Amino acid sequence: MNKAAWSVVFGVLLVSGLGIPAIPTSVTQAWADPTVSQPSGKLKGNILRGREIFNGKGVCYYCHGIDGDIGRPPRLAADTAMLIGKLNPLPTDLRNPEILRLKTNKERARAIREGHPGTGMFPDTTMTDQDLTDTLLYLALIRKDPHPEQ
Ligand code: HEC
């Protein structure tokens, strides 16, 4: 994706309420082209696809809110919403790095694939490896992580 296309994508994210006021330039530079290998070459992914998975087939948004905004729950059937409201612990605000407990993508990948032990977060059995990588990059974006690969 070229720079112009990326700024369109990014514009869409912002307009749709991702609401990131300022992203450190290190992040925007590293992610200038989300389809190209990251600097260390470890994670090759597409953040926009990650967002689609988060708000789509990954059903992450059911519990973590649309775009990971815990204050923006989707419209769900009343019984589903009630079950989520009763989870203990409650789903995490994935945008707030200060309260996040998992520190590496390895741990996050495991929580997503195998379920988060001791919580209501169930394993996702539908994601391909690429889906997972894209989702991890998207999670790094919403928590404004300057080291999206870690
Ligand atoms: C059924 C509700 C539910 C769904 C669906 C769900 N989660 Fe979670 N998630 C939780 C709960 C509950 C926790 C744990 C909260 C805690 O530890 O305090 C959690 C924790 C996490 C964490 C760890 C946060 C930390 O502390 O570092 C990540 C990352 C995460 N979820 C990502 C996802 C992603 C990505 C998806 C979609 C593939 C997803 N979740 C789907 C409920 C859910």
pLDDT digits (tens, 9 = 90+) for 120-143: 999 999 999 999 999 999 999 999
On whether residue 150 sits in a domain, the answer given is: no
On whether residue 69 sits in a domain, the answer given is: yes
On whether residue 21 sits in a domain, the answer given is: yes
CB 97 within 8 A of CB 143: yes
68 lines ligand 1 (CB under 6 A): no
Say whether pLDDT at 22 is over 80.
Answer: no
Say whether pLDDT at 62 is over 80.
Answer: yes
Distance set, CA 17 to CA 13, 58, 78, 87, 114 (Å): 7, 20, 25, 26, 30
User: What is the chain's mean pLDDT, rounded?
Assistant: 81
What is the three-class DSSP state of 129? helix
135 lines ligand 1 (CB under 6 A): yes
Say whether pLDDT at 84 is over 50.
Answer: yes
On whether residue 148 sits in a domain, the answer given is: no
Ligand 1 centre to CA of 147 (Å) is 20
Domain limits for position 117: 3-142
The pLDDT of residue 119: 95
Say whether pLDDT at 6 is over 90.
Answer: no
On whether residue 149 sits in a domain, the answer given is: no
Rounded to two decimals, the pTM is 0.78
Ligand 1 centre to CA of 111 (Å) is 7
The pLDDT of residue 44: 86
Ligand 1 centre to CA of 2 (Å) is 32
Q: How many domains does the chain have?
A: 1
Written as six digits, the tokens of 146 are: 């300057």
d(CA 54, CA 131): 10
pLDDT class of 41 with cuts at 50, 70, 90: low
Say whether pLDDT at 66 is over 80.
Answer: yes
Q: Among the atoms of ligand 1, which is closest to the Cα of residue 62?
A: 5
On whether residue 147 sits in a domain, the answer given is: no
Say whether pLDDT at 145 is over 90.
Answer: yes
Q: Which residues contact 32 (CB under 8 A, 6 or more apart)?
A: 3, 6
Say whether pLDDT at 31 is over 90.
Answer: no
On whether residue 96 sits in a domain, the answer given is: yes
